[in-house]
Amino acid sequence: MMKALLSTCLLLALLSPALPLKCRKAVNRTGLTYDRYIRQYCKFGQDFCSASVLRTNLVKFQEQLLNRCSSSISCFSGHYSFTAGDGKFFQMKKHCCKTELCNNATLSLPDRNMLAENGLHCPSCFSKGTIMCKSEKTINCLENETQCIQSTVALVTGGLQAHIFTFQGCGTTDFCAIGKKPIKIIGDGNFVLSATQESCYNASRISHKPEHEE
C-alpha cells in the first residue's frame, strides 16, 4: 500500500510540471543581516517562502533573521510589534510569498531608540504567569503602534521551553489581527509566540500634548 502510494506520488511528481518550490535560505548570518543565501528545496506542504526579522527582550535581548521555506497555513506578511510595561517589547516583520526564490525582501528593524513617539498612549504592565497584570501607569506609543493591547502570550524559544506572561501596552494593528486568526501564532524559527487571549482597542491621544497628523 505504502509502496503503491509512494510510486504514485513519484509518478505524479514526474508528470507534474509543478516542481517543489525553491526558496532562499539565508546563511552566514550576523545579527540581522546575512551575506549569502542558498537555494532550499521546500518540503511537501511548504508552499510559501518567507523572510522575517525579529527583535525582542521578553526573555532576554534576542534577534533573529530568517529566510526559508514556509507554509501558507502559518505565513502571514505583516509588521507585528508591541511595547509593554517594564520596558519589554517585541518587534517582527515578516514577508510571505509563493514564487521561486521570492523571499528576497530586505527587511530591517530600526534601532529601538530611533522609534518616534506617535502621540498616543496606553495602560501598561508586564508580568510572568497567566494572571493579567494590573496597569499602574501609561506608556507612550511608538511609530505604528496605534492599538492598546491586553494579552496573555506564550513564547517558545529555541525548542520546548515556554515562557508565559501577560501584558498591557501599545501594539500594531497587525499584531492585534492575530487574535482573530484561526491559528493565533506568529513567529518563525526559534521564536514562536502564541496569543492565547487578546483584546485591542484604539489608543487615545495624549491630551496635554495636542499633535496634528501628518
Ligand X SMILES: *[C@@H]1O[C@H](CO)[C@@H](O)[C@H](O)[C@H]1NC(C)=O
Could you give the string, one character per residue 165-184, with x where binding to ligand X holds by CB under 6 A and - elsewhere?
--------------------
Could you give the string, one character per residue 115-154, with x where binding to ligand X holds by CB under 6 A and - elsewhere?
x---------------------------xx----------
Task: Give the residue carrying C-alpha cell 505524479.
Answer: 12
Could you give the string, one character per residue 42-81, with x where binding to ligand X holds by CB under 6 A and - elsewhere?
-------------------------------------x--
Burial (CB count <10 Å: 0-12, 13-18, 19+), residue 95: buried
Q: Which of 8, 99, 197, 199 binds ligand X (CB under 6 A)?
A: 99
Q: Which of 28, 72, 197, 199 binds ligand X (CB under 6 A)?
A: 28
Q: How far is the CB of 90 from ligand X (least distance, A)?
A: 13
Q: How far is the CB of 110 from ligand X (least distance, A)?
A: 5
Q: In this chain, which stretch among 29-37, 56-64, 157-165, 175-183 interacts with ligand X, using CB under 6 A?
A: 29-37
Closer residue to ligand X (CB): 91 or 138:
91
Q: With CB under 6 A as the rule, give the number of residues binding ligand X.
A: 14
